[in-house]
Amino acid sequence: MMRGIEDRDGFIAHMGRAEIIMSLHYVPLHAAPAGLRCGRSDGALPVTDAVSARFVRLPIYFGLSDAIDCVISVTRNYLRAKPAAASRHI
């Protein structure tokens, strides 16, 4: 989870410069199609929306093999370049 939207977008851009494709991670249930049809939230859920907007999905999966080292290295480079508070949230 990133510190904010700007940090999230910066991380996605950083990964993109290394040709690592990123995606946003999580659509809260109350905002997903099924949640909109079947959900039972009463009113806005601003904390859930704010937190979910800061998640990213690292492209790590079973068949990734050698590229996983690149994903880890580029992620570490980004986090090392940020103030200490950034790593506390990830």
**pLDDT tens-digit profile of 17-72?**
999 988 776 788 888 888 888 888 878 899 999 999 999 988 888 887 778 889 99
Structurally, the chain folds into a number of domains equal to: 1
Its pTM stands at: 0.78
Alpha-carbon torsion, ordered 49, 56, 6, 13, to 10 deg: -150
Interatomic CA distance for residues 22 and 10, integer angstroms: 11
> Would you say the C-alpha torsion 12, 60, 49, 76 has a positive or negative sign?
negative
Cα–chain center distance at 48: 14
Structural domain span for residue 73: 5-88
Cα–chain center distance at 53: 8
Q: The domain spanning residue 32 has which CATH number?
A: 3.90.1150.10
